[in-house]
Every structure is written in structure tokens, then in C-alpha cells.
Amino acid sequence: MRSVHSLRVVVLSLVCGGALVFVGCDSGGTNGGSQPPTADITVSSSTVDAGTQVVLDGSASSDPDGDALSYSWSLDTPSGSNASLSDPSAEKPTFTPDVGGDYVAGLEVSDGDATASSSETITAQTSTVQLSGTITTDSTLTAAQNYVVTGGLTISNDATLTIEPGVHLPFQSGAGLYVDPDAVLDADGTSGEPITMTATTGNEQSGWWQGVFSFSAEPNNLLDHVEVRHAGSGSPSTVDDGGVVVAGGSALTVTNSTIAQSGADGLLLHEENSTLDGFSNNTFSGNAEAPVNIPFTNIGAIDGGSTVPDGKTVKVWGGTISGSRDVTVNALDADTPYRFARGATIGASSGGASSVTINPGVEMTFEADAGLYVSSGSVLSADGTADNPITMTATEGNAQPGWWQGVFVFSNDANNLLDHVEVRHTGSGSPNTVGDGGVVVAGGSAVTLTNSTIAQSAAYGLLLTEGNATLDGFSANTFADNADAPIYLPFSNIGRIDGTTTFPDGKTVRVFGTSLSEDGATDVTLTALSGDTPYRFASSPAVGDDASMTIEPGVEMTFESDVGFRVSDNSSLTADGTSETPITMTATAGNAQQGWWRGIAFYSDNANNLLNHVEVRHAGRSIMSPIPEAANVAISVGASLDITNSTVTDSGNHGIYCDPPSSATLSGNTYQNNAGQNTEECP
């Protein structure tokens, strides 16, 4: 470098000499101005180890006129370096290279009239530190150093391993990074200087090294702006393989990071009590198995800003959200679905009041025989929108009835909700003896179902298993292609079914008989169903004591064999049809014969008892005690009923029977094909 500086001075002298000659020729005098200085740099060493101080020396700089010189130093550093000069105006400043690479020191000297400059390049090199074994004291890995992990590297004994931004950490085959209980891994990179954990050069392939394994529950365990690649070759213990693995009872925060090209899962939480303390804006790609594999207990940690490849899912392997936790399930990026491998339960059966809120747009797929269960005291709130419904379906390629179990509600919390939810491909079984269906509400439990679709169940679409199961709300739903009835519910809930919900042709809403008053329903209105869908009664219902029922025009009621309909003492039934939209009570489809079902019997003298424009057909099979005669319509001792403009046909015995003394007002009625009398003992 000095020879270069000397050449520069010679050139400057020649130029200046030419200028002097020119001036001399012009003025005929001698040079009265100053000559420029010379800049000269000496360094303590042009090649140093990173971390070694470098002395820059500008004292060899000179001025031909003997003028005093001022110094102005600059330092260009390689990427990732924070090195700086001790004093940019000193004659002999220092600096310490902190990363490997070239550092260019520049010097400009000035005599007050003219300046000169020069530069020197100092190369900092880093030796490669081999890492393996156990770290038992707080340690730091810096970007200034080269590393290679040659075997298992364990952080233990309450130690913290801090990995600074820009650190590159290659792993040899089968090596791994393990965080023991009570130890801490703090890998905190930046967007400009991420930390990288990869295979050694030339071995960039899935499953080259084991990965990062956390066995520590410390809240400071962190991977931020970290790239973990080429892991998944195995495990140091009985936990499964993955790029990043959080063992049972352990915790980790993963943010702004990339987990890619694992030979197994990308991120794996091994047990229900494994925990993601934080998770956001991560990227997963090229992992052989699931990008993320977590228990249901951690489903709320997964954010909508993280990305996974097309065709991949976030795998949820089951588990129970217990205690009193509030969990929100977020819609994933690019319509990525959650994939449930086993049953997932909200709330422990032993108690607790957990709640799970499912946001609009969430897609949930279920493997064979998996299911979603809401325990007593807990809440499921699946609240979609028309534009962003929530979907619960079979896994890809398995869109068939009976693939997974369905949604089972064992909680009576008033906040249980399915709104704008699609539930498909269910009915494979149940978690206990409650019965099969797409959505099943157990005894003593409750749910609101609105604007939702239940389709392709191998059993019922919606099943309420007992009389005290409750629909708190029900409207504008769609049922399609369910193997059994679209809905099977107790008589106590029959008034919840609305006229805007749609059913397939040829299907019925199936009703099993209970008493309105016994199950808490007292004033019930029965609405005509869309598409002329009938109600089908599988067992005998009763309008219980002090209850009232109103049947609106157009309602179609069909009854299975030997089923009877009772209006009990102190209750009332008002069935008020019209000539254009009569109410029908008849045999189930294909059984239009005399005496198929028992009929309707009144034991109440309520003035509101009315059958107007009602067709009662195919009843009179057997008596409804204590009334001694069978009939399509039977009126007990002391009871009263107005029957007007109605049709009573095809009874297995009488059309209308009045057990005296009873009161019946009959007018404008039509009778046909009754085996006994059209009216018997009626005043």
C-alpha cells in the first residue's frame, strides 16, 4: 500500500509542477502557495481474528510545507457488524472487528489548504468453534464467531444460552439442541439479521439433524426471527421427531420464524400440557409431515398471520381444554384447515368452565371417528358469517357420510352457539351412549343453531337425546343428505323448529313423545315447515298440565304405528287451519290405512280446545285410557272440544268418540270410511 501512496504523491507533484510552470510563464514570478499533504496509513495487522483490537496509525502522513495536519477517519464494516472507531479525529484511533469480513479504514488529512486521502483493508477472520456437550453456565453465541454443532448440545443447570442476531449455527448429522428443565434458550434475531440453524454446508436435506427440543417450562424460552431447517432426523428421548419440539410440561415462544424441510413435523407439541406461550407470523414449508402438530389445548395460540404450504393442515391431535380457560380459534392463512386426529373436548368432566370461540372462516377437518365435545359447564361459540362460514367436515378425500363423529353438547350454557356453521360427513358414532348425529345435544344440555347446514350424516342431522335437551334458538338452517331424519327431537322442543329451515324432499322432522309441562315448555306454537315437510311422531306426545299448544295452518303431522296424541287436564290445544291450508294428522308415509295410529285424545275442558280445518286420518287403532272406545278423535269425561270444518276419515273404529258426560261442538265436518260410527256418544 505504501508504494501506491508514493505513486499518488509523485503524480500530484507533477501536476502541481505543471501548474507552477504555467503560472510562472504567465506572471514571471515564483510559487508562493502551499503544497498538498500526503496521507499514509499503517495498521497493526491487515489480517486479524474477530474480536482483536486493530490500531490505525496516520502518523506517517506528512506535509511538504511542514504545516500541521488534521485527521478524519472513516470505517466501512461488513454486514452485521457494529464496530466503530475509538476517535475518528485522532492520529492513532482503534477499532475491534466483531464479525468476520473486510473492514475498510479511510483517512483524510488536511493542512488547512489542501487534503489528501488513503485507505487500508483489514480482514477479520473467525475460527470455527465446535459445540457439543452440556452448557451449565450462562453463555452467549455471537455473530462474530463461526460455529458448528457436532453432537447433542444441552442447556442445563439453570443456565441461559443467548444466541445473538446474525448467528449461523450449522449442525452435523444427528446433532441437536436441547433445553433441559429450568434452563433457557433465548434465540432473539431480527428481520435483517435472523439466526439460522441448518445442516452443515453440502448437507441441506430434510432430516439431517435432530432439531430444537424444549424440556423447559421457563417463560423466557424464545425463538424470534430464527430459521430452523433440515431437522427431524430423530429425538433425544421418547418424544416424537420434529424441527422444533416442545415436550410435556414445557413451553416456548415462536415468532417471526421459519421452520422448513423437517423430516417429520415442523413444530410439534408432544403432550396436552406442552405450551406455546407465544406464536405469530411464522412460516412453514417443505416439512415431511404436518407444518404444526399441537394438542387441542394450544389451538388458540395459532394465529392467522402464519403461513403453511398449499395442501397442508395444522394438525390437532386431540386433548381436553380444562379449568376455566377462554380460547379463540383463528382462521388460518390461505384457507388452511385444522385437522383433528382424535376427539377434542372443551372442559373436563370433573368440572371447570372453559369456553372456545371459533372465529368466522375457520375450517376444521376431522379424521375417522374423531369428534368435538362440549363438557358440562363449558361453552362452544362457533359464530361465523354468511360470507365466512365455519366449516366442520371430513379430511380431504374422505367426504362421505359417517366419516367422523360430530359435535356433541353436554353443556346447558346459554352461550352455546352454532351460527353460519357447516357440519358435514358425520355420524360415525358417539363418545358414549347418547346416540349418533351431526350435532347431538344430550339430556340437560342446550344449544342455539342458526343459519347453519348439517349434511351427509350417516345418522341424524340434529339429535336431541332426551326431553330436557333444549334448543335455545333455531332458525334458517339447511339439512341435506342425512341418512336418518334431518332432525330428531323431543316434543318439548317442537315449537323451536321454524318455517324457513329447509329439508330434502321425502324427509320428516322426527319427534319422540314427551310432555310439554314436564320438560319446561308451556306455551308452544307449532309452525308449518318449508316444502310441506311433515313432523313424524315416533312415540306418544302430550300437551301437559297447564301447557298450551297452537298449531298453525299448513302443519302436517304424521304418526307411527299405535302412537297417540294427548291433551292433558288443564291444558289446551288450538289447531286452527284454513280451507286452503288445513292442518293434517295422519299415518306415516306408506301406511295410509284404517287404524294405523291411536288418534288424538282430549282430557281438558279448556275453552281454547279447537280443531278447525283439520284432517284427522287413519287413527282409531286402540283406546287411550281411561277413554273406553278407540277413535280418530276421543273426548274424555268432563272434557270439551270444538270440531269445525274438519275431515275425520279412515278410523279403525269411531271417527269421533265422546265419553259422557263430555262436551263437543261439531259443525261443518266431513266423515268417511270409519270402521265404527262417524260420531259416537257425542251430544
Residue-wise pLDDT for 157-211, tens only, equals 999 999 999 999 999 999 999 999 999 999 999 999 999 999 999 999 999 999 9
Cα dihedral sign, 395-401-403-407: positive
Q: What are phi and psi of 12, to 5 degrees?
A: -60, -40
Residue 288's Cβ-side half-sphere holds a number of Cα atoms within 13 Å equal to 15
Q: 573 near 567, Cβ under 8 Å?
A: yes
How much is the pLDDT for 50? Answer: 84
Is pLDDT above 50 for 395? yes
Cell numbers given for 197:
440453524
How much is the pLDDT for 80? Answer: 81
Residue-wise pLDDT tens digits, 31-59: 346 799 999 999 999 999 888 999 999 99
Looking at domain 2-125, its CATH class is mainly beta
CB atoms inside a 10 Å sphere around CB 25: 8
SS (H, E, C) 564-633: EEEECCCCEEEEECCCCCCEEEEECCCCCCCCCCCEEEECCCCCCCEEECEEEECCCCCCCCCCCCCEEE
Per-residue pLDDT averaged across 465-491, rounded? 97
How much is the pLDDT for 33? Answer: 60
Domain boundaries, the chain: 2-125, 131-294
- The distance of Cα 405 from the centroid of its chain, to the nearest Å, equals 19
Measured distance between the N- and C-terminal CA atoms of the chain, rounded to whole angstroms: 131
**Segment (H or E) for 7:** helix 2-27
How much is the pLDDT for 349? Answer: 62
Which residues are CB-contacts of 466 (< 8 A; sequence separation ≥ 6)? 442, 443, 444, 490
Residue-wise pLDDT tens digits, 356-378: 999 999 999 999 999 999 999 99
Q: Which residues pair with residue 671 across a beta bridge?
A: 648
d(CA 405, CA 427): 5
DSSP class of residue 50? T
Residue-wise pLDDT tens digits, 269-326: 999 999 999 999 999 999 999 999 999 999 999 999 999 999 999 999 989 999 889 9
Query: Which of 151, 132, 218 lies closest to 180 in space, CA to CA?
Result: 218
pLDDT category at 521 given cuts 50, 70, 90 is low
Four-point Cα dihedral 305, 311, 317, 320, nearest 10: 50
Per-residue pLDDT averaged across 140-144, rounded? 92
d(CA 514, CA 542): 6
